[in-house]
Structure 1
Amino acid sequence: MIPLLLQRIISGVGGNPPMAKEDAARRILTADPFDLVLHMEQLWDVSKPWGAIPAAGPGRRAFYGIGEFASYVPTDLPAWDHLGYSYVLENTRIVQILRRVVREYRSGEGLGLPSIETQRWLDVTEALLFGAANPVPSWLSTSVIRQDPEAVRRNAYWRFFGLDLAFGTDDNRPPVYDKATATNTGFVRLLEELLFELWQAMTNVRNIAGANASDDDRIFRIAEELGYILRSRRQKSTLKREELAAATVLGWAELTVAINSSLVSDLSATATNPATRLQLIGERVGLAAHSKSAAFFSMAADLSVLLYTIEAGVVSGPEFAWVLYMEQLPPGKVGKPIGAESRRVITEWAAATGKDLKVRAKAVETTSRPRVVAAA
Structure 2
Amino acid sequence: MFRTLARLVVDPTLLNSAATPNPDVVFAHNPRQLSRWLEEVFAVNGVVKYVPNPAPTITAATGQQAVIDGLKMPPLLLAELPSAITQGTTIPPGYKVNPLLGTTTPLPWDHLIYAFLLENTGIVEILGEVVRRYKVGETLAPPSVQTLVWARNTEELFFRDPPAFHILGVTSQLRPDARVNRRNAYWRMFGRDLSHPPLGAPLEGQPWKRDVGAGANSRFFDIWEELLRQVWQGILNDRNQGGPNATDRSYIAYLCQSLSEMLTMRRRGGMLAQEEFAYVSMLNWFHLTVEYETPVVKDLKAEAGTNGNPADRLAAIGARVGINPPRESRELFELAGLLSPLMWFIENGAFNDESDAEMLYHSNLVPNPVVADAMIRIIDLWQSATGTRIKDPTVVSVSPDARRPAQPLRLPEPTPNAAAPVFTPTSNGTKAKV
Q: Is TM-score (shorter-chain normalized) higher than 0.5? A: yes
Q: What residue is the counterpart of 1:75 in the other structure?
A: 105
Q: Which residue of 2 aligns with 1:21?
A: 20
Residue 374 of structure 1 corresponds to which residue in structure 2?
Answer: none
Distance 2:388 2:159 in 1: 35
Task: Judge conservation of contact 1:131–1:140 (CA < 8 Å) in 2.
Answer: no
Please give the root-mean-square deviation of Cα atoms over the aligned residues, in Å: 2.8
Q: Which amino acid aligns with 1:284?
A: R
Counterpart AA for 2:313:
R
The alignment covers a number of residue pairs equal to 364
C-alpha distance 110-83 of structure 1, shift in aligned 2 (>3 A)? same
Residue 246 of structure 1 deviates from its aligned partner by 0.7
In the alignment, residue 176 of structure 2 is paired with which amino acid? Q
Q: Distance in 2 between matches of 1:322 and 1:294?
A: 29
Superposed, 1:62-141 pairs within 5 Å as 62-63=79-80, 65-68=82-85, 70-73=100-103, 75-76=105-106, 79-131=108-160, 134=163, 137-141=166-170
Question: What do residues 202-255 of structure 1 show as CA deviations (whole Å, max 9, x unaligned)?
Answer: 222221223222211110010010110001011121101100001110000000
Q: What runs of 5+ residues in structure 1 fail to find an aligned partner?
A: 371-376
Does structure 2 retain, via aligned residues, the 8 Å contact 1:131–1:137?
Answer: no
Aligned to 1:274: 310
**Structure 1 pair 19/218, CA: closer, same or farther in 2 (3 Å)?**
closer
Give 2:74's aligned amino acid. G
Identify if the C-alpha distance between structure 1 residues 51 and 250 changes in structure 2 by more than 3 Å, giving closer, same or farther: closer
Kindly indicate whether residue 338 of structure 2 is the aligned counterpart of residue 302 of structure 1: yes
Confirm or deny that 1:200 pairs with 2:233: yes
Match of 1:219 in 2: 252
Select the residue among 324, 335, 350 that pairs with 2:360: 324
Correspondent of 1:366 among 408, 414, 417: 408
Alignment-mate amino acid for residue 112 of structure 2: L
Q: CA deviation at 1:278?
A: 0.5
Long gaps (5+) in structure 2: 46-64, 87-99, 397-404, 413-434
Report if the CA contact (8 A) 1:306-1:342 is conserved: no
Distance between the aligned counterparts of 1:127 and 1:169, measured in 2?
Answer: 21
Matched, 1:157 2:186: yes
Compared with structure 1, are the counterparts of its residues 135 and 68 closer, same or farther at alpha carbon in structure 2 (3 Å cutoff)?
farther
C-alpha separation in 1, matches of 2:369 and 2:170: 34
**CA distance 1:357–1:191, shift in 2 (3 Å):** same
Q: Give the aligned residue type for 2:38.
A: M
- Superposition deviation, residue 273 in structure 1: 1.2
Counterpart for residue 399 of structure 2: none
Report the AA paired with residue 246 of structure 2.
A
What is the TM-score of this pair, normalised by structure 1?
Answer: 0.88
Looking at secondary structure, tell me which structure has more helix per residue. 1
Shift, 1:354, TM fit? 0.7
Q: What whole-Å deviation, never above 9, does each CA across 1:64-102 have from its counterpart, x for those lacking one?
A: 64431532236346x210000000000000000111101
Q: Does the 8 A contact of 1:202 with 1:326 survive in 2?
A: yes
